[in-house]
Chain A
Amino acid sequence: MSYEVVGITVLWLFLYGYLIVASVDFGAGFFSYYTKRTNKNHIIHNIIQRYLSPVWEVTNVFLVFFFIGIVGFFPSTAYYYGTALLIPGSIAIILLAVRGSYYAFATYGAKESKLYNFLYGATGLLIPASLTTVLTISEGGYITQENGNVQLLYGELFGSLYSWGVVVLAVVSVLFISASFLTYYASRANDEGALNLLRKYALTWSFPSIAMGIIVFSLLNKRNPEHYQNMIDIWWVFGLSFIAFAIATYLIYKRRNYGTAFIMVMIQYFTAFFGYGAAHLPYLLYPYLTIYDGFTNESMALALIIAFIAGLLLLVPSLFLLMKLFLFDADYVKGKK
């Protein structure tokens, strides 16, 4: 594998990691808010708090990792995306800032506050929407470059069916991923009430998530036929994704093996996400930037890969410890510790 491919694979892996952990987090925020409004919060409040409190900061790191990593491996992305995304990027920052800090305020400090809860719930759905802008504009046709001046075409962005499709896909996926994880977590805690409610949410959002996946897939044909054709060429990857989805929903529906069901959801998104990414190559930003012309110099690439491996040696055991203590420790999950 060339350095370029290693680089993009590493980054894509972290973006996938963010997609999963952030979805759980964002969805949990939304469910927490929604159940407060419908007076069901007492049912799932503990489950959500016990999971989120030790990990919310880690979630954030996945994102930082991605956007620092991409500048390291592909410095030219800073030029194109940085210039074009000032407004959507800033909006995402503000939402993330509000969400992160108000989560901490609500959890560690203040008394129950409706406002904090609303901010926390609402931002959970708006952040995925604003972050998907990056994926949308990578398809091309949303930015122009004249006299070295990169500009985002807001009319095109807000007027296109494709970009709205991606937003809806992101939001329903967040809710589906989150609900299926929390269903598993509630089952670990033997919390029947939370399990039933969360299972219902998971099933509710399963169909829209797969339907939106298919809709966006077909909308892409119009937007970027080349990318679409590449995706058709590896259709089996998306077939696997669909099968994983089917197994996941079946298990949740049958009230069995919630752990396996969540792993299936992870596989569903892993295959779809990597299939989408692989088919997009070699472009980082169609048609301006490929992974080859935007790549960093060789010595930096090598240094980054070495740092990455060393970092993983440190991180993987630490993450494992975190999961062992808070995810797989039955007593903790049940609230006994």
Chain B
Amino acid sequence: MFFEYDPVIYSRILTALTLGFHVIFATLGVGIPLMIAIAEWMGIKRNDPHYTLMARRWARGFVVLVAIGVVTGTAIGLQLSLLWPNFMQAAGHTIGLPMFMEVFAFFFEAIFLGIYLYTWDRFKSKMKHFLLIIPVVIGATSSAFFITTVNSFMNAPQGFNLVDGVLTDVSPLAAMFNPATPTKMSHVIITCYLTAAFVLGAIAAFHILKGNKHVYHKKALHLTMVTGAIFAIATAVIGDFSGKYLHEYQPEKLAAAEWHFETETEAPLILGGFLTDDGEIKYALKIPYALSILAGGSADTEVIGLNEFPEEELPPLFVHYLFDLMVFIGMYLAAVSMLYVFINRFTKWNAFSRPLLWSVIAGGPLAMLAIQSGWFFAEIGRQPWIINQVMTTAEAATTSQHVDVMLVIFAILYIILGATCITVLRRMFNKKPIEHELEERGISHTTEPIAK
């Protein structure tokens, strides 16, 4: 094919492809249930059928996304054993527990999602139906939690001793609650919420921009932007903690993200720019002291540079671009959502102006892009290790032939699934615009001003 057959490279590409595709649906799968729950709750509290319908419509689209999330999640679960048999052998000994618990969480979610979707008109009490979404939210978020602890372990392995290549004295809880766990899992979960809020917000903004004056869309935009602003602020705070974690436990990853070569105090933060072949940084914006402050909270923190590490243990330096992209988009999302809330709440200006709507629409896909670049940064940033300082990626890969053929087949599969998913979602909502559905359910077309 493109280059000489090497199962390690093909396994890496195939895993990246599957995870990259899965994470789109997994992120929304964790975030959207919370948004549905909030909307349904608002519907009950304010006795406003628009919010209830919002929950209903979001739930309908959500099922299609969940379906792909489930099947691609099954795919990656099996692929781990197929492509990384040596890793899974080691992982089974150390992090079998969170993997096992992740399946329980998934099980729990699956059961209640099935019930939730088919009981909309079944109970007299609306509260009863609302309670059914709670286990879905808990299940979705705790699957994210458990599986992220597995990934954290790969970054900061602990809870075992390695004697002549054999794992002994395993402590499953210590392995699960490793130093990377707190920052990683909170970052993953909060950005799932943030992304879901922006994706749903982008849809609402799109309808308003198209000239749909219905108050339903304004309510949807309002709900998503207010929650989005909260999640964005939380993301920034957790992002700061993540920087401090990296400084302490994975300095080479932080240094690679920041192109930080010399160990020094008062280290500057490098924004943008590019790295020439002879290691010179050009066109970058240097913020003095910022890296030291990010890493340790004060300008005199000494930040370890890349030169301290043997070259073969360094991750590729292009991770800087991924890191920057993630951070920029995060700040953009925070700015847009806070601006919306500010204008809407504290000023007499129109919060539904075209430029602001366009910015929200752009926020949806950008948030997804940030998720992708964040994950690619996190994963590529720990190369060459699959388990940091314990097992290299090359040692873990399968020796099997034919990974290249599988790569092609899976690529085709994901293209087809992705394309059908878009078609199905579009058809689903175009066929039933909000006005029709309101009429169908006998909800009046009130145009009362949006509650502030």
Contacts and interface: CB of A to CB of B under 8 A. Distances in A.
B298 interface: no
Contacts of B89: 75-76, 78-79
B interface: dominant SS: helix
Interface in A313-337: 314-315, 318-319, 321-322, 325-326, 337
Contacts of B101: 307, 311
Contact of B103 (A56, A64, A73, A299): A64
Nearest to A62: B107
Interface stretch (B35-43, B72-80, B279-287): B72-80
A67 B111 contact: no
Most chain A beta-carbon contacts within 10 A, residue among B103, B108, B112, B425: B103
A307 B115 CA distance: 24
A35 B227 CA distance: 48
A263 interface: no
B168 to A, nearest CB: 7
A165 interface: no
B106 A64 contact: yes
B110 interface: yes
Given A76-B89, A86-B82, A109-B64, A97 B75 contact: yes
Interface stretch (B208-216, B234-242, B402-410, B439-447): B402-410
| Chain B interface extent, by class | 35 or more
Interface stretch (B184-192, B385-393, B416-424): B416-424
A85 B82 CA distance: 7
B93 A94 contact: no
A60 B70 contact: yes
B68 to A, nearest CB: 5
A224 interface: no
A58 B107 CA distance: 6
B353 interface: no
Interface string B72-99: 1111011101111110111111101101
Interface in B106-124: 106-108, 110-115, 117-119, 121-122
A83 B113 CA distance: 35
B343 interface: no
A82 interface: yes
A102 B64 CA distance: 9
Contacts of A100: 67, 70-71, 74
Nearest to A320: B111
A63 to B, nearest CB: 7
B107 A93 contact: no
A17 B167 CA distance: 33
Contacts of A151: 400
B53 to A, nearest CB: 17
Nearest to B414: A97
Interface in A44-68: 53-58, 60-61, 63-65, 67-68
B92 A58 contact: no
A318 B103 contact: no
A199 to B, nearest CB: 27
Contact of A68 (B71, B77, B420): B77
A158 B84 CA distance: 26
B77 A103 contact: no
Contacts of B96: 71-73, 75, 296, 300, 303-304
A74 interface: yes
B119 A93 contact: no
B93 A104 contact: no
Contact of B427 (A58, A81, A109): A109
A101 B420 contact: yes
A110 interface: yes
A93 B115 contact: no
Given A54-B118, A87-B402, A63 B74 contact: yes
8 contacts: A75-B96, A78-B88, A78-B91, A89-B78, A94-B409, A300-B96, A300-B170, A321-B115
Interface of A: 53-58, 60-61, 63-65, 67-69, 71-76, 78-87, 89-90, 92-94, 96-105, 108-111, 149-151, 296-297, 299-300, 303-304, 307-308, 311, 314-315, 318-319, 321-322, 325-326, 337
Q: 4 shortest A-B CB distances, which residue pairs?
A: A75-B92, A72-B96, A104-B67, A82-B85
